[in-house]
Amino acid sequence: MKKLDYLTPVGIFVGLTMVFFAIYSNAGAGNVQFFVQWSSILIVFGGLAAAILINFSLQELKLLPKVLKETFKSDDHDLEDLINTFVELSTKARREGLLALEVGMEEVEDPFIRKGVLLAVDGIEPDVIKDIMMAEVVAMEERHRKGRSIFEKAGEYAPAWGMIGTLVGLVLMLQSLNDPETLGPNMAIALLTTLYGTLLANLVFIPMANKLSMRTEEEVFVKQIVVEGVIGVQSGQNPKILEEKLSAFLPNHAKDQDDEEVEASEDVRA
């Protein structure tokens, strides 16, 4: 289940606010406007857009809105609930047979789980099921990599275009050394383009790419649990054994919490 991830916009807002506050506290309100130079903005954003258009195909660029939207969402993976789902499926399969699992599969929200269970119901060998499902995981990783690479490249190009703007400003400044009045604006262009490019790369593009990478790793991890669960159900493993096997994927704090609940239930029985 996907929900809005507030940390991404909050992080960007906090970063921009701290930079603005640092400028305001040192330069004063009247000088803040000097940190906004449209020529510097055009060099960085225009050059960055041009580089991205050259680097990627139209089909890959069409993924950008969807990928950008994903950076503001988070997947709520409840591993304990996922494990309980496979324990219930295993119990039902041992009591009523694998064919009984086909009933109610339409109600399962996760298409990956549904696909794996239906493959098991069709009587396909466990190794073949694993190969089919892991092939889908690899394909998912590749799709995510292509979308994430746009932000990774933007993080590389933004500081470079900031440096190009700096070179432009220095050339203009050197050409007008005889006119002291133009030295300040030209130096502003030279320095602000580097500031804009570096700020974009380290506050927006690189953190977003890293967040998408972590999301992919998390999704692959969850799908590995699903694969192991499907294989366990298909092979007729004992529900308790399957639960212990899948519980190995839980974080340590979750395991400790489960152990405490088991001990508490045993104390109650005693």
Measured from the Cβ of residue 149, the count of other Cβ atoms closer than 10 Å reads 17
Name residues whose C-beta falls within 8 Å of residue 261's C-beta, 6 or more positions apart in sequence: none
pLDDT tens series, the chain, 270 aa: 567 778 888 999 999 999 888 888 876 666 677 778 888 889 999 999 999 999 999 988 988 888 888 888 877 778 888 899 889 888 888 888 888 888 877 777 888 988 998 888 888 888 899 999 999 999 999 999 988 999 999 999 999 999 998 888 888 788 777 777 777 777 777 888 899 999 999 999 999 999 999 989 999 999 999 999 999 888 888 889 888 988 888 876 455 555 444 444 444 444
* Global confidence as pTM: 0.80
The set of long-range contacts for 20-24, using a CB threshold of 8 Å and a minimum separation of 24, is none
Check: CB of residue 211 under 8 Å from CB of residue 73: no
CA 221 centroid distance within chain: 13
